[in-house]
Structure 1
Amino acid sequence: MMNRRHVLLAAVAGTLVPATRALADSGMSRIPAYAFSFPALSGDDIRLAAFSGKPLLVVNTASLCGYTPQYAGLQQLWNEFRARGLTVIGVPSNDFGGQEPGGSSEITETAHHQYGVTFPITAKAIVVGAKAHPFYKWAAEARPKDVPRWNFHKYLIGRDGYIAEVFPSSVEPADTRIKTAIARMLADS
């Protein structure tokens, strides 16, 4: 004979199993961005876990691209919002047009010396395809229609560690859409 507790547990289990299965079938990853790390341009690791609970703007960059001047705008975002918790991370990549052909010294010259970048820069990474860095594979799984199509593609990661907004290369860092999304995220604490 079943008592009320068993009936209730059976009913709850009956609704949870399909919901859990639907989540798994949807391809949604419960792994947050904070689970990843990148080798830094300087040789150490940039562990995204160090920024847990804070928004991140992750941008694939290139030194010889028409969008390379966006480094200056990214630095301005970093200057404006870092004290409130935003971290900007540049990820140099040679995936598009061979526009990041150099090594760390050339990337350093462009980012740090030409554009005065002080936000973290990773070592050169692959951002698309089968050999993409695990962060970019995760992002492509989470947002398959929003993968990088060129240099300076921007992923805004929310405080929860998941992709909140995606901005294509053509959207400048100083664009109102980016600044508004970041300000809104920083206001939600």
Structure 2
Amino acid sequence: MTRRSLRPQLNQIRTWVRQGRTDAWIAHQLEVTVQQIQSFKREQELEVDGEEATVPFTEEVDLRAEDDAAIAAELEEEERRRREEEERRRQEDEEREAAEAAAAAARVAAGETAEDDSDSEADDDEEEEGARPRRRRRGGRSRRRTPSGKSLEGTFDHGEEGYGLWLDPAIADDPIYAEHWAGHRPVEVVVEEDQIIIRRAGTEDSES
């Protein structure tokens, strides 16, 4: 404890000494050491003897025993509060560690779930790509490969500039078309009720 002057407490200490208060009790009340009280009593000649030591009290109480019991009770109370505080802190630390462990486990579980979902989606995409035929691209346009001689779709249209027949772009993949019709060629057109026949100009069929 920090040493401090006890002179301001002289009268109070004198009263306590006459009442028979112990040095330990007085030191505890003033928050100083027992040695300081004993030294101060010698300096101020507060040691009681003779008649002063037997000052009559209204109640016959053993003040020394009472003081010792009070000090012991206060010390026990302080120790109890200290143990309770340590126990409270220990429980808080355990709860915090448990919460952190649970949060870490949740993050790990969430990461594994997300990874499993990603792998599953990737597998599904690969299966779909494997089952879906690949389309060939030419000239930036998608065309459908057609066996030779197979019918193709087309559109007959007309407008201010004339009449036209638009064929499915997949016709360019037909080997017969590539061999006999590709490029700019003059044609003859025969219009019938349910069909329009197109022939190359100058063929045997057109001559007959």
TM-score normalised per structure 1: 0.26
Choose 1 or 2 for highest CA Rg.
Answer: 2
TM-score normalised per structure 2: 0.24
Q: Whose helix fraction is larger, Structure 1's or Structure 2's?
A: 2
Q: Name the structure, 1 or 2, with higher relative contact order (CA <8 Å, separation 6+).
A: 1
